[in-house]
Amino acid sequence: MSAIASVQPENKTQRLEPRALARLIKKRALAEGFEKVGVVPAASLDTERALLLDWLARGFHGQMQWMGRDPEMRTDPRKLFPAARSVIVVAKNYYTPAQHKGDVQTGKVSRYAWGDDYHDVVGARLHSLLSWIKETVPGAEGKVCVDIQPVMDKAWAVRAGLGWLGKHTNVITPEYGSWIFIGELLLNLELEYDTEKIEDHCGSCTLCIDACPTGAIKEPYVLDSNKCISYATIELRADEIPAEVKENLEGWFYGCDICQDVCPWNRFEQVTAEARFHPRLGNVNAELSEVLELTPETYADRFRSSAMKRAKLSGLQRNARALLDK
């Protein structure tokens, strides 16, 4: 019997009782392949909203104008899904042990984009979890969120006790470091909630701040996207990468993992059991000349079901030119 098939409600009374139902949902989430899961009430993130508004006011979101749209919705899941009563927060480990090459004719790709698009992988598992909940609890409804919805993923992961927010602004877990994807399932069910959080273990360490070649981490826990290599090579919609970033790309073609690579907590990394996150051919280091030769048709085929399509063909070719100009 599979692990998923074995997760069955014991009886109708337990199925509807908040404590037992929360326990069953967590068990099922783990059976679906998530490494960590927490359950918290669907409530307003008031402290996080204030921090978001300050970050936006400082212009640190760059051209990501959607970050400033309706902060009320972004910080209150009930604005997105009015029936929400609970938030199931999950973490999926994506670490694989491949290493970048030092070949200057190639560009380094961020580890999160080596395999299949995490939106598809995590989203499919959350939809499967939601389907099981609907079968288990009559009248249950929910909404799956994986990054693209206006939900503060990292804030929910911290609130649910999955990890703490590191000084580099990534969530760090004691078991897997920061190599995790985060997703949420908003539910119209009242459940028993987790209350324990993981305290900040960054201490006096500033390795991530010191290692950033562009000084994008302005201060602990505050990132200026305008100076971030990941932002410049993925989200920025401009014909050229800004000079101060271009001069400090250090071989990064798509994204950047420098702040994570130097984090001491990532010595606890564990190889993911998810085969779809293992590297595709050419996704650890991209051949820059091949990228420049891509057509819209070959681009669509090359990056189908890959997170790297986020930068679009124009962005990837711009990045390749920036590295070859060095």
Cα 129–chain centre separation: 19
Condensed to tens digits (0 to 9), the pLDDT of residues 115-137 reads 999 999 999 999 999 999 999 99
pLDDT, residue 326, reads 63
The residues, ordered by sequence, that sit 6+ positions from 8 with a Cβ below 8 Å of its Cβ are none
Low-confidence ranges of the chain (pLDDT < 70): 1-16, 326
d(CA 321, CA 326): 9
What average pLDDT is seen over the chain?
94
The model's pTM: 0.93
pLDDT, residue 67, reads 93
Question: What are the structural domain ranges in the chain?
Answer: 12-103+111-187, 207-268+280-324
Catalytically active residues are 147
pLDDT, residue 42, reads 98
pLDDT, residue 159, reads 98
pLDDT, residue 12, reads 46
pLDDT, residue 16, reads 67
Q: What is the SS3 assignment for the chain?
A: CCCCCCCCCCCHHHHHCHHHHHHHHHHHHHHCCCCEEEEEECCCCHHHHHHHHHHHHCCCCCCCHHHHCCHHHHCCHHHHCCCCCEEEEEEEECCCCCCCCCCCCEEEECHHHCCCCHHHHHHHHHHHHHHHHHHHCCCCCEEEECCCCCCCHHHHHHHCCCCEECCCCCEEECCCECCEEEEEEEECCCCCCCCCCCCCCCCCCCHHHHHCCCCCEEECCEECHHHCHHHHHHHCCCCCCCHHHHCCCCCEEECCCHHHHCCHHHHHCCCCCCHHHCCCCCCCEEEHHHHHCCCHHHHHHHCCCCHHHHHHHHHHHHHHHHHHCC
pLDDT, residue 2, reads 47
pLDDT, residue 14, reads 43
Condensed to tens digits (0 to 9), the pLDDT of residues 226-264 reads 999 999 999 999 999 999 999 999 999 999 999 999 999
pLDDT > 70: what percent of the chain?
A: 95
